[in-house]
Amino acid sequence: MIIFVAATYWTILWVTALPGSVSQIKLSYPRIEFIEGLRAVFLFRAQGVTPDATALVGGLAIGERELLSLELAQNMKTLSLTHLVAVSGANLAIIMGVVYLLTAALGLARNTRFVTAFLVMVAYVLVVGPESSVLRAATMATFVAIGLWLGRGTKPIISLAWAVIFLLGIDPGLATDFGFALSALATVGLLTMAVPIYNWLSGFMPRLIAIGIAASFSAQLATTPVLLMLQPSIPVYSVLANLIVEPVVAPVTVLGILALILAYPLPFLSSVVSYLASIGTWWITLVANEVSTWPAARVHFVAGPAGIVLAALIVLLCLGLYQRRLSEYRPGLSISLVAVLLMSASWSAIDQIRYQGFEGEWQVVNCDVGQGDALVIRSQGVVALIDVGRESQPIDKCLDNLNISRIDLLVITHFDADHAGGIYGALDGRRVKTAVISGFADDRPLVSLVEAALAQSEVEVLTGFAGMGGKLGELNWKVLAPTAKATEAKDSNDASVIVAFTGGDYGILALGDLGAAGQTRLMRNAGGALSELANRPLLLKVAHHGSADQSSQLFQLLSADVAIFSVGQNPYGHPTKKALDQAAVSGSIIVRTDELGSVAFRFEGQAWKISSAGKLTA
């Protein structure tokens, strides 16, 4: 009964939560100077086999994530290993278990052992900070400990329910906290499904392996609906990766905490201990970096709310199968589970088939690279690519699906990450002839990275300037802005390379991230070229993913047949209602990659024909 009450209470708070609701415990958590100093000294003194291995010691011991390289963080995310650096109930159990065994070995009284373990738990929570998973684990452990101390015992699932009710009662903002949900649901999976799965697996494999698979699979399955909200695809090798790294997690955690304790009094010894711990974390980095590169490390699952609902049904049916009280309904539950699984697999397969063959004959494809730009233009087999998105994988996958092995013209409009960060994905396995970049004085690190990548691939690099142009098959291309050194631009967005393509039948215009002021300047300096574009069926890549910083006069001047909003999930409100309304008022058909996925355009019968891939989640 109490489990149902906890679930209902949580659901009500989640449904009624106001937008932007957050945990008040996290917001009001006090900064304790001694603890901040201890964390800082520990991280400063930490030594390791590699920088990432050193950083991961801090991650497993105290939940420090900021020191991980972007590559390792992404690879761990691909394999669903990020829970290792989100200090959770497992870490707490390891620490409290060690303390309890030590106090028992010292012959301390039962009450003293409980009090010592409790105080260590409180100290650890203070060191780690207001992590949702730690708050859940500590509260649940307190309820369990009280029951044991009173000699009455308690079922762990009941303690979990009371912990959820208690925490949501004092902090309703936790109802919308992903970390809290993942922690609670993972525990539900472990408490309800792990033992039956272990009992089945242990019949034909070593028990230690069966335990690892059962624990990892049950936690992964129970958290799938929430994980799909965060990263909408299924990690194929998650259970395997977790099984491989699990043997080093407990030793690393214990050694990491020991290094933390020694950081102030014995800094040299703390460094030695952290180095020993890093041998274990080096193994984790090796597994993460290797396994994440295996084929189909993540696979598509039904996108959007439908996928989350299907995943939730699968979890509920699995939970029902393992409930003794529902044993008489197991045949029906089993049939329902198989039906939902088949529906999910079929739906996902249909998505894949549609995605692979959506484009047909095309002149233009706007790749879905999330919150970023990547526009492919093809004429008579000659290919141009305008921007490459933020990450390597999406643009690489899109170009592979389009069978693009050669890029004749690559334009990096400017060096914001969502336009230039995926450079390696565009270059990987492809020959790029010429690249055009903005001449704006930009000293951000990404500029050097892109230039180095282009140099390594022996790409001819040219600085774009108004008036530069050439041929792309039967199309003419021309840079409309900025000047060679872009001295007229106030920032990198304002210095975006604006390139137009014109042929006998149609025109294409890509506006980069040019704002309203720059658009007004463009109309003043390149009015003739814009008027020429406006006099033919025009495909317009809307500036800055549909931000509010747009010129309504430019929209009206161009009156584009199609307005492309290349956009993904973002915190900026793109595309804005203002930009969408301006495009609609100018008579444009609005195409959004956040809704349609990659979109192909074919010019036929004096009009643009549009086909979309649909959203894929991997």
pLDDT higher than threshold 90 for residue 115 = no
Question: How much is the pLDDT for 618?
Answer: 62
Q: Per the structure block, which two tokens stand in for 74?
A: 């992404």
Question: How much is the pLDDT for 113?
Answer: 77
Question: How much is the pLDDT for 602?
Answer: 92
The pTM is what?
A: 0.72
CATH architecture of 358-612: 4-Layer Sandwich (3.60)
* 612/366 Cα distance (integer angstroms): 10
Percent of the chain at pLDDT > 70 equals 97
Q: List, for residues 319-345, the tens digit of each pLDDT value.
A: 888 887 888 888 998 999 999 999 999
Mean residue pLDDT across the chain: 89
pLDDT higher than threshold 90 for residue 353 = no
Residue 403 phi, psi dihedral angles, 5° rounding: 60, 40
Question: How much is the pLDDT for 534?
Answer: 93
pLDDT higher than threshold 90 for residue 208 = no
Q: Which residue has the higher pLDDT, 129 or 404?
A: 404
Nearest to 538 by CA among 576, 514, 581, 503: 503
pLDDT higher than threshold 70 for residue 108 = yes
Lowest mean pLDDT among 87-96, 112-121, 188-197, 312-321: 87-96
Question: How much is the pLDDT for 435?
Answer: 97
Question: How much is the pLDDT for 315?
Answer: 92
Question: How much is the pLDDT for 566?
Answer: 97
pLDDT higher than threshold 90 for residue 591 = yes
Question: How much is the pLDDT for 32?
Answer: 82
- Which sign does the torsion angle of CA 259, 75, 294, 197 carry? positive
Peptide bond into 172 cis (omega under 30): no
Q: Per the structure block, which two tokens stand in for 110?
A: 């039962």
Nearest to 407 by CA among 445, 435, 447: 435
Query: Among the ranges 132-141, 149-158, 477-486, which has the highest mean pLDDT value?
Result: 477-486
Taking each helix axis from N to C end, the angle separating 516-525 and 527-534, rounded to the nearest 10 degrees, works out to: 90
Lowest mean pLDDT among 120-134, 287-301, 565-579: 120-134
Q: List, for residues 459-503, the tens digit of each pLDDT value.
A: 999 999 999 999 999 999 999 999 999 999 999 999 999 999 998
Residue ranges, comma separated, of all CATH 3.60.15.10 domains in the chain are 358-612
8 A C-beta contact, residue 410 and residue 384: yes
Q: Which residues contact 96 (CB under 8 A, 6 or more apart)?
A: 117, 120, 121, 141
8 A C-beta contact, residue 507 and residue 536: yes
Q: What is the mean pLDDT of residues 315-320?
A: 90
- Which strand (E) or helix (H) includes residue 367? none
Q: List, for residues 230-263, the tens digit of each pLDDT value.
A: 877 889 999 999 999 999 998 998 899 899 999 9
pLDDT higher than threshold 90 for residue 289 = yes
Q: Is 116 left (phi over 0), alpha (psi -120 to 50) or beta?
A: alpha
Work out the burial of residue 563: count CB atoms within 10 Å of its CB; fewer than 13 is exposed, 13-18 middle, 19 or more buried: buried
pLDDT higher than threshold 80 for residue 19 = no
pLDDT band at 295 (very low <50, low <70, confident <90, very high): confident
Question: How much is the pLDDT for 519?
Answer: 96
Lowest mean pLDDT among 59-63, 363-367, 440-444, 517-521: 59-63
Write the DSSP assignment of 149-164 as a string of letters. Answer: HTT----HHHHHHHHH
Q: Measured at the alpha carbon of residue 91, what is the angle toward residues 89 and 96, in degrees to the nearest 5? A: 90
pLDDT band at 137 (very low <50, low <70, confident <90, very high): confident
H helices of 292-415, where? 304-321, 330-357, 392-401
pLDDT higher than threshold 70 for residue 617 = no
Q: Per the structure block, which two tokens stand in for 563?
A: 């307005």
8 A C-beta contact, residue 64 and residue 46: no
Query: Among the ranges 18-27, 191-200, 580-589, which has the highest mean pLDDT value?
Result: 580-589
